Amino acid sequence: RNFYRRYDLHVHIPEGAIPKDGPSAGVAIATAMVSALTATPVRRDVAMTGEITLRGKVLPVGGLSEKIVAAQRAGIKTVIVPKKNSKDIKELPERAKHGVEIRLVSSQDEVLRIALKKNAWKEKRMDTQHPTYASS
> Model confidence over 37-60: pLDDT tens digits?
888 999 999 999 999 998 999 999
In this predicted structure, what is the pLDDT of residue 18? 56
In this predicted structure, what is the pLDDT of residue 135? 39
3 is a domain residue: no
Burial 14-27 (b: 16+ CB within 10 A, else e): eeeeeeeeeebbbb
45 is a domain residue: yes
6 is a domain residue: no
In this predicted structure, what is the pLDDT of residue 113? 95
Spot the catalytic one: 67, 77, 83, 84.
Answer: 67
pTM exceeding 0.85: no
17 is a domain residue: no
Number of domains comprising the chain = 1
80 is a domain residue: yes
Residue 126 has pLDDT above 60, yes or no: no
89 is a domain residue: yes
In this predicted structure, what is the pLDDT of residue 102? 96
35 catalytic? Reply is: no
Range of the domain at 86: 22-123
C-alpha to C-alpha distance for 98 and 113, rounded to whole angstroms: 23
Q: Indicate which CATH number applies to the domain containing 66.
A: 3.30.230.10
As a dihedral over the C-alpha atoms of residue 47, residue 53, residue 58, residue 62, rounded to 10 degrees, the angle is -70
Strand partners, 81: 104
> Model confidence over 89-110: pLDDT tens digits?
999 888 888 899 999 999 999 9
24 catalytic? Reply is: yes
Residue 35 CB partners (closer than 8 Å, separation 6+)? 41, 42, 116
Residue 121 has pLDDT above 80, yes or no: no
